[in-house]
Amino acid sequence: MTQVKGKKVYLGTNTKMYKGVADTASYLEELCRLTGDLSREALELFVIPSFTALESARRCAPRELVRLGGQNMGWAGEGPYTGEISPKMLLEVGADIAELGHSERRHVLGETDEMVNRKVLCAAEYGLTALLCIGETAEEKARGLADEVLRTQLKAGLYGLGAGGAERLWVAYEPVWAIGEHGVPATKEYAEARHDTIRRTLTELYGEQAGQAVPLLYGGSVNPDNAVGLIRMENIDGLFIGRSAWDARKFNAIIRDVLAAADG
Ligand code: 13P
């Protein structure tokens, strides 16, 4: 497990169902002000707010500083899908990332691998970055099934996605047991071992070069104490953060620590 120096890091947050229009706007304004001096060459900063906040979020945060995404996306450009948001709608408001298959959608709202797969293919068709979230439950971990679950979620979620689509793919490893208030963060060694499985599966699917190029992010109780250790792992290219990023000052501190660590 070697430390990789000088790698580009992907740091972002999903604000879940917490911040409305006004809170998102003030959060983004502060985040842009605090991080405006940091070169984006080595940093891909992204925020995934609620749908209702996206349009004003884009006005508050220039794309050169922060990319925006939707927390979910329907699987067609348009159609009779009441309640869904299409890739065209996301692009129209300046969001070009689609977060797909988050554990809260899989395990609370019943989303299946097949549904996630349709969304991944649709995101690729419309040129969005698909941020595919995968992760095992506590029970699957206890039974020694974590790697099998990850391989299945990847192969099912990416079924039919060609090399072109894989160029815009990001994968977030978010063990279900690590996420949220009652979550326990994965150790850096455990996370790296799972990322290694994900990396191997991607190189199996897309070849060595393309598989290595897919950014792999860890998420689940990332905090100011564990962020640096995680980012130093060979196959961890980024961090997908919830609670610890929802205060712009706290997130800014993590971003600076992580950038310093990734730079060696
Ligand atoms: P927490 O960092 O709050 O555990 O949330 C992680 C997450 O769900 C990111 O999508």
Burial status of residue 29 (CB atoms within 10 A of its CB: 0-12, 13-18, 19 or more): middle
- CB of 219 shorter than 6 A to ligand 1: yes
pTM assigned to the model: 0.97
Flag whether 227 is in a domain: yes
Domain presence at residue 3:
no
Q: Whose CA is nearest to atom 1 of ligand 1?
A: 242
CA of 162 to the centre of ligand 1 (A): 29
User: In the chain, where do the E strands start and end?
Assistant: 9-14, 43-48, 67-70, 97-100, 129-134, 169-173, 216-219, 238-241
pLDDT band per the 50, 70, 90 thresholds, residue 263: confident
Would you say residue 146 lies in a domain? yes
**Which whole-number Å values give the CA distances from 128 to 86, 96, 112, 123, in the listed order?**
11, 5, 21, 5
Averaged pLDDT for residues 59-67: 97
Q: What is the pLDDT confidence band of residue 5, given thresholds at 50, 70 and 90?
A: low
* Active site annotation includes 102: yes
User: Distance of CA 229 to CAs 114, 187, 223, 259, 262, Å?
Assistant: 34, 9, 11, 12, 10
Report the distance separating Cα 231 and Cα 121, nearest Å.
Answer: 29
pLDDT digits (tens, 9 = 90+) for 211-252: 999 999 999 999 999 999 999 999 999 999 999 999 999 999
pLDDT at 7: 82
User: What's the half-sphere exposure (Cβ side, CA atoms, 13 Å) at 252?
Assistant: 16
SS3 assignment for 197-211: HHHHHHHHHHCHHHH
Looking at the structure of the chain, the number of domains it has is 1
Give per-residue pLDDT as tens, 170-207: 999 999 999 999 999 999 999 999 999 999 999 999 99
CB–CB of 5/264 below 8 Å? yes
CA 178 to ligand 1: nearest atom = 4
200 within some domain: yes
pLDDT in tens, 81-114: 999 999 999 999 999 999 999 999 999 999 999 9
Asked whether 239 and 11 are in contact (CB, 8 A), the reply is yes
Domain for residue 69, yes or no? yes
The confidence score (pLDDT) of residue 27 equals 98
Position in ligand 1 atom list of the atom nearest CA 222: 2
Whether 64 is in a domain gets the answer: yes
Catalytic residue among 44, 99, 102, 195: 102
Report which secondary-structure segment, H or E, holds 88. Answer: helix 87-92
Yes or no: say if 128 and 90 are a contact pair by the CB < 8 Å rule. Answer: yes
Q: How is 46-83 classified by DSSP, letter by letter? A: EEE--HHHHHHHHHHS-TTT-EEEES---SSSSSS-TT
d(CA 220, ligand 1 centre) in Å: 5
Residues linked to residue 199 through DSSP beta bridges, in sequence order:
none
Q: Is 55 a catalytic residue?
A: no
Q: Which two tokens stand for residue 264?
A: 């060696």
Instruction: Encode 171-184: b = buried (16+ Cβ within 10 Å), e = exposed.
Output: bbbbbbbbbeeebe
Query: Is position 38 within any domain?
Result: yes
Question: Is residue 4 one of the residues assigned to a domain?
Answer: no
Q: How far apart are CA 14 and CA 46, in angstroms?
A: 9
182 is in which domain, residue-wise? 9-263
Cβ of residue 12 lying under 6 Å from some atom of ligand 1 = no
Residue 221, ligand 1, Cβ within 6 A: yes
List the CATH number of the domain containing 113.
3.20.20.70
